[in-house]
Chains A and B, each alone.
Chain A
């Protein structure tokens, strides 16, 4: 990864890199991309057993990401990137100026799309957990806790609310294209490699500090444990 951003002024050839995203953030991001697409596709072709496991995987990823929002590296933390209306307005004014410099981590506006996508996914996961089809064949793991009608209504909502997940995802992609075209900033590269050229960007030149491995492992235990709990609960009903 040598050229995620295009410096405005000429800079010396060997440019130091700024680490912006830790590995768990990137892995969760791309697994979510895959699982959301896979969930949509398996629902389209009515392969509901695959949809079931894909949805549970998304649940585990969400649990991990929320935990990581408190325990992860600097740019992963909600407290670091979720900002109020004032900061968002200030950012938008800054964005239109020619001397704009790429934000270190999520910018205040992009933070809204992160929160919107996480919330929409959480709503979909909750509905999917209790959803049941009208045939009584395919159902989410917690469907035994609800009656036929509620399960069927949850399944209908699960389907009807899908566009509300696509809206923030669409805005997120539109923003990526905007930065690429209008600002000449490639945001996808750093989400793959974790780093970008530490030229004309905000934040400490070295970027984020390393996070102890135990914190990552604890998050994996919490996420897997939550999925296990969801699967285990209906067996002791």
Chain B
């Protein structure tokens, strides 16, 4: 019995030590708060094609970041409504349309020369080296977003059923192509 207890102790201590031993993520420098009193619509990046490096990559990347942030806000609006028994379907429909607009442009957001080598971004370099898979995942997203727009125009139940699968396509790409650490 004593040995069992000692073994249990050892296992628990080792288990906990293993958890505790994980190096904590480096605390990031506090991000400069983006003061945007009425959130301005970020100018969509629509011009640069997959092939050309933009004239000002840093500005281009900043716009890309702002677009993703606005996309996140539209998603949060849908997520908040997803938790309500009676979602505000007008707001949900508008947000879904906005997401569709962004998803449609996203293929032009990652031209050469706008990766981690060019400046601050969470986009991994494999976005450019494994472009075919990136595009395939983007196509998946666009398929689900089309369904989401249709569902939002149908009713609350259809929207709620389609919200999770759409988010899953966002996650599928983030898991592979986005850095976890805040940069």
- Rounded to whole Å, the gap between the CB of B165 and the closest CB of chain A is 11
State which of B8, B13, B15, B180 has its C-beta within 8 Å of the C-beta of A189: B8
Contact assessment for A234 and B83 in the assembled complex, using a CB-CB cutoff below 8 Å = yes
CA–CA, A163 and B23, complex, Å: 9
CA–CA, A234 and B84, complex, Å: 7
State which of B5, B79, B80 has its C-beta within 8 Å of the C-beta of A192: B5
State which of B6, B19, B182 has its C-beta within 8 Å of the C-beta of A40: B19
- Chain B, interface SS category: helix
- Rounded to whole Å, the gap between the CB of B140 and the closest CB of chain A is 15
Contact assessment for A136 and B79 in the assembled complex, using a CB-CB cutoff below 8 Å = yes
A33-B12, A188-B9, A189-B8 as given contacts; A235 in contact with B83, CB under 8 Å: yes
Q: Which residue of B lies closest to A2 (CB)?
A: B1
Give the residues in chain A near B20, CB-CB below 8 Å: 166, 169-170, 173
Check if B167 is an interface residue, CB within 8 A of chain A. Answer: yes
Check if A160 is an interface residue, CB within 8 A of chain B. Answer: yes
Check if B134 is an interface residue, CB within 8 A of chain A. Answer: no
State which of A137, A156, A180, A237 has its C-beta within 8 Å of the C-beta of B79: A137
CA–CA, A162 and B22, complex, Å: 11
Check if B24 is an interface residue, CB within 8 A of chain A. Answer: yes
Q: Which residue of A lies closest to B5 (CB)?
A: A189
Per-position binary interface string of chain A over residues 145-160, scored 1 when its CB falls under 8 Å from any chain B CB and 0 otherwise: 0001101000010011
Check if A200 is an interface residue, CB within 8 A of chain B. Answer: no
Per-position binary interface string of chain B over residues 168-183, scored 1 when its CB falls under 8 Å from any chain A CB and 0 otherwise: 0011001100001010
State the interface size on chain B (CB cutoff 8 A).
Answer: 42
Residue pairs across A and B with CB atoms within 8 Å: the count is 107
- Chain A, interface SS category: helix
Contacts A/B (CB < 8 Å), 11 sampled: A44-B22, A46-B180, A136-B76, A136-B78, A143-B80, A156-B182, A177-B13, A186-B2, A189-B8, A192-B8, A234-B80
Interface positions of B from 1 to 51, Cβ below 8 Å from A: 1-2, 5-6, 8-9, 12-13, 15-17, 19-20, 22, 24-25, 27-28, 33-34
Contact assessment for A186 and B6 in the assembled complex, using a CB-CB cutoff below 8 Å = yes
Contact assessment for B2 and A3 in the assembled complex, using a CB-CB cutoff below 8 Å = yes
Task: Give the interface residue-count category, chain A.
Answer: 35 or more
- Rounded to whole Å, the gap between the CB of A41 and the closest CB of chain B is 8
Contact assessment for B9 and A136 in the assembled complex, using a CB-CB cutoff below 8 Å = no
- Rounded to whole Å, the gap between the CB of A151 and the closest CB of chain B is 7
CA–CA, A173 and B71, complex, Å: 44
Give the residues in chain A near B12, CB-CB below 8 Å: 33, 188
CA–CA, A159 and B25, complex, Å: 8
